[in-house]
Chain A
Amino acid sequence: MSWAEIWPLLWQATLETFQMVLPAALIAEVLGLALGVLLTLTRPGGLLANRLVNRVLDAIVNIGRSLPFIILLVLLIPFTRLITGTSIGSTAAIVPLTIAAIPFVARLVDGALYGVPGGVIEAARAMGASTGQIVHKVLLPEARPALIQSFTVMLVNLIGYSAMAGAIGGGGLGDLAIRYGYQRFETDVMIATVIVLLLLVQGVQWLGDWAASRADHR
């Protein structure tokens, strides 16, 4: 295939990837952050220590993370149809991508918050800070660099997951590589797609690292 033919395909696929990954990333970040904060707070010795709630949340996160994405994609079809009215296409792909990313983000957020020194939290408690104030003014701001890093990791992961969205007609870069490169032996399309994916992942990682180091005053 000539470049003139490949270029519009690549462009279209890149847009589709963004259309799937960005909304999924934003929704998953909000929900995953909430779940991660709850995981941290309910830990033994945490500000809202509750063994039962912690165990249940922990189990949900583990189950969510252990399901292969391709299986989740299929399992969620009825749920996706309920939310978006359809089970195929880029919009429909947002639902399984979001669901897959939430437990992932939650685990990373839990880890990021765990890195905030206990002494700082105790100091805030001794100042009379409420749990909500500790979360908003101490835990999240102090963990900001690690949270930015975890958002970056999630975004890279979602770009990877989105390759499988082709299975439900989601399109995107991964789908382009499979359809042209694998099924039609258009090796040049495959290579071009892989290069775009590499650049995309590199770019996201580089931006994330830059933002995290800028945010870090330690």
Chain B
Amino acid sequence: MSDIALSPSTLPPSALPTSAVPALQFIDVRKTYPGQAQPALRDLTLIVPRGSRTGIIGRSGAGKSTLVRLISGLETPDAGQLLIAGQDAGQLSSKARRERQSHTGLVFQHFNLLAQRTALGNVTLPLELLGVPRERREARARELLAQVGLGDFAGRYPAQLSGGQKQRVGIARALATDPDLLLADEATSALDPETSAGILELLTQLQRERDLTLVIVTHQMEVVRAATTHVAVLDAGQLVESGETRALLGHPGHEVTRALLDAHRPEVQLAPGEVLRHVNLKDLSSQTLAALAGLGARIVLAEAHPQGVDTWLALPEAQAGLLAALNLQAVGA
């Protein structure tokens, strides 16, 4: 699999077999909204590998929303190219664009469900737009609702569902047309931490089962850490760094990345000589706990998610270097 942010010129899309064509390729993409002095995206170059779970993170104003609007076909680039599965999104006829849009599933921060339709009616909508007969679209929607754990909620209206349940309906709807690309735009930002974890777990599981490319747009580093294989950090409409999630969060090279990592840093009173370190543990086994105790480390915060246990440790500065020796991969400091 190609790494993220390879130079696009080395990857002429037409010359590659389908499996090697990246899910998304931004090549010097520029976008300025009418009446705005500053471009929302300035010469953004970015590759999202096919079959990856790629996090796109940035502070507000970094260009995340514009990126989502470009991928979902609501905007086209002013300059540069956006290739979706090798197709130039800026050059599509309106028929081809709709075809493309039906292969891109979108999950929204505020769910954007139709309030006057049941969960079932919401999930069938994309199929209805494609003219799929009622019986087939309802069978498909029921199947999807069962997969997201809402098999018994088909007849409920959004107002009768919790936030997490609404987002599950949103995910089922996004999958209705069997897309190859699933785009989650701040999909957990309106949910409490526990519900968020469940949604991220569901997205990860669906991505694996269906061999999707999952793009998670977020401003929260813990979302990237919990659910992605790759990450791209945006700032002021440009890519500042990208790579595999573990590697990049272990050695953040850019101050923006470090700032986003620090945003998650727990508030804690440190003893003199103590430092705060963040590690991603495979698990919190008694062996690991014993090793940590041997270093004189205190666990300040531990959060379990599919990729392991995110752990913040307060430990004597002299021991900090020994974390690596314990084969504990440090992820950010």
A interface residues (Cβ-Cβ under 8 A, vs B): 117, 119-120, 122-130, 133, 137-138, 141-142, 144-145, 215-218
Contact = CB atoms under 8 A, between A and B. Distances in A.
A144 B157 CA distance: 15
B263 to A, nearest CB: 26
Given A119-B108, A217-B157, A127 B125 contact: yes
Interface stretch (B52-60, B96-104, B213-221): B96-104
22 contacts: A119-B110, A120-B113, A120-B114, A122-B74, A122-B112, A123-B106, A124-B125, A124-B129, A126-B72, A126-B106, A127-B102, A127-B106, A128-B97, A128-B100, A128-B102, A128-B129, A128-B130, A137-B129, A141-B114, A145-B116, A215-B116, A218-B157
Interface string B111-122: 011111110000
B159 interface: yes
Given A119-B112, A122-B112, A126-B101, A133 B157 contact: no
A217 B129 contact: no
B23 to A, nearest CB: 17
Interface in B131-167: 157-159
B246 to A, nearest CB: 32
Contacts of B101: 126-128
- Counting chain B residues whose Cβ lies within 8 A of the other chain, the interface size class is 20 to 34
B243 interface: no
Contacts of A128: 73, 97-102, 129-130
Contacts of B106: 123, 126-127
B58 to A, nearest CB: 21
A129 B115 CA distance: 18
B126 interface: yes
Contacts of A122: 74, 112
Pick from A119, A128, A137, A144 the residue with the most CB of B within 10 Å. Answer: A128
- Main DSSP-derived SS at the A contact region: helix
Contacts of B104: 126
A216 B158 CA distance: 12
A217 B99 CA distance: 31
A126 B74 contact: yes
A77 B100 CA distance: 55
A198 B101 CA distance: 53
Interface of B: 72-74, 97-102, 104, 106, 108, 110, 112-118, 125-126, 128-130, 157-159, 177
A64 B92 CA distance: 43
Given A127-B101, A128-B73, A218-B159, 17 more contacts: A119-B110, A122-B112, A123-B108, A124-B125, A127-B102, A128-B101, A128-B102, A133-B129, A137-B125, A138-B114, A141-B116, A142-B115, A144-B116, A145-B116, A216-B116, A217-B118, A218-B157
A218 to B, nearest CB: 5
Nearest to A127: B126
Nearest to B177: A127
B181 to A, nearest CB: 12
A115 to B, nearest CB: 11
A47 to B, nearest CB: 12
Contacts of A127: 101-102, 106, 125-126, 129, 177
B180 to A, nearest CB: 15
| Nearest 9 Cβ contacts at the A-B interface | A128-B98, A128-B101, A123-B112, A217-B157, A126-B72, A119-B112, A218-B115, A127-B126, A128-B102
Given A128-B97, A133-B129, A217 B115 contact: yes
A192 B218 CA distance: 67
A115 B45 CA distance: 38
Nearest to A126: B72
Contacts of A133: 129
Given A127-B126, A129-B129, A141 B74 contact: no
A144 B113 CA distance: 16
Contacts of B126: 127
B324 to A, nearest CB: 45
A141 B114 CA distance: 9
A216 B160 CA distance: 12
A217 B116 contact: yes
Contacts of B129: 124, 127-129, 133, 137
A126 B185 CA distance: 13
Contact of A141 (B97, B110, B117, B159): B117
A128 B125 CA distance: 11
Nearest to A120: B112
A215 B101 CA distance: 31
Contacts of A145: 116
A204 B177 CA distance: 44
A130 to B, nearest CB: 8
Nearest to B109: A119
A130 B125 CA distance: 13
A142 B74 contact: no
A36 to B, nearest CB: 18
B299 to A, nearest CB: 40
A217 B74 contact: no
